Amino acid sequence: MLTPDLSARVGSLELINPILAASGTFGYGLDLADFCPPENLGGVVTKGLSPRPRAGAPMPRIAETPSGMLNAIGLENIGVDVFCRDQLPALRERRAVVIVNVFGESAADYLTVIERCEAEIGIAGYELNVSCPNVSSGGIEFGHDPRTLESLTSRCRAATARPLWVKLSPNAPDLVATARAATAGGADAVSLVNTIRAMAVDPFRRRPELARTFGGLSGPAILPIALRMVHEVHLALPELPVVGLGGIESGLDVVRFLLAGASAVQVGTATFRRPGAMLEILAELETYCRDQGVARVASLTGAMEAQDG
């Protein structure tokens, strides 16, 4: 019986499998360890970290939608110092692959987080969050303007030799232009997509369901949009590794992203309903490869056949 090789590579970073926990959905890597040990995943992308603790948005900040979920958390986090002191040692002991998601309201904030993390071992790389649609200042401005994004990426690139990913915004006017800017600035890979700006309305209370009115839509509803965007960036920049995310619920969804051009994926919203979802998805991916005679999961990346005509 075929035993498929599930390993994946994103630039220089080697992963035991292509499934990573998406930022903001798996805490700091240990919250769901009883259901899904982080060391069994390709990697864990931490909740976004800022230089200082951040309170986030007022309640309510989460709302269910048809085939998805809205959130306006406002990047609440414990701050980089507390993460390095209280969370990272346990992740390091487990030998989990840790990608630190970095957020800031200025370029200096991003650099502060990276410089603090550079003093630590057990961090595999960084993901710059330039795409959060539910904060009033910071990342999203970087993610919408290619020149600003290139400058930010270049400054962060100069601050570390570790792998550097940029999480792009599906709300940007020109996604390919921002991907090019991230590459020009020295990014090793891009992650896409983040949540899509949206809203929900309570018809009985006659008011928005989120305190901030607008939030980010995630879940199965955005999967076709995310696939299209991953494929567009892959076609435009075939040498650029892409980490795909958006609505993944099954092993077949992972295959869809890989075929569209992703080298690895991140799973997020599915874990809210099924804390062990990523291990289930990984098992389904292995079954697919075995049944389809796929010896190496990495061979699926970009292997989608074009339609005739």
CA 233 to chain centre: 16
Task: Tell the residue number behind the tokens 């979920």, with chain if given.
Answer: 69
**Are 309 and 276 within 8 A, CB to CB?**
no
Q: For residues 89 and 192, what is the distance between their CA atoms, to the nearest angstrom?
A: 29
Position 179, amino acid:
A
Nearest-CA neighbor of 113 among 44, 187, 50, 186? 50
SS3 call for 105: coil
| E strand spans, 7-124 | 8-10, 13-15, 19-21, 43-45, 62-65, 68-71, 98-102
**Among 36, 84, 117, 132, which one carries the catalytic annotation?**
132
Give yes or no for a contact between 164 and 125, defined as CB atoms under 8 angstroms apart.
yes
Check if 156 is active-site.
no
Tracing tokens 């993944």 back to the chain, one arrives at 248
Q: Contact at 8 Å (CB) between 295 and 13?
A: no
- Catalytic residue numbers read 132
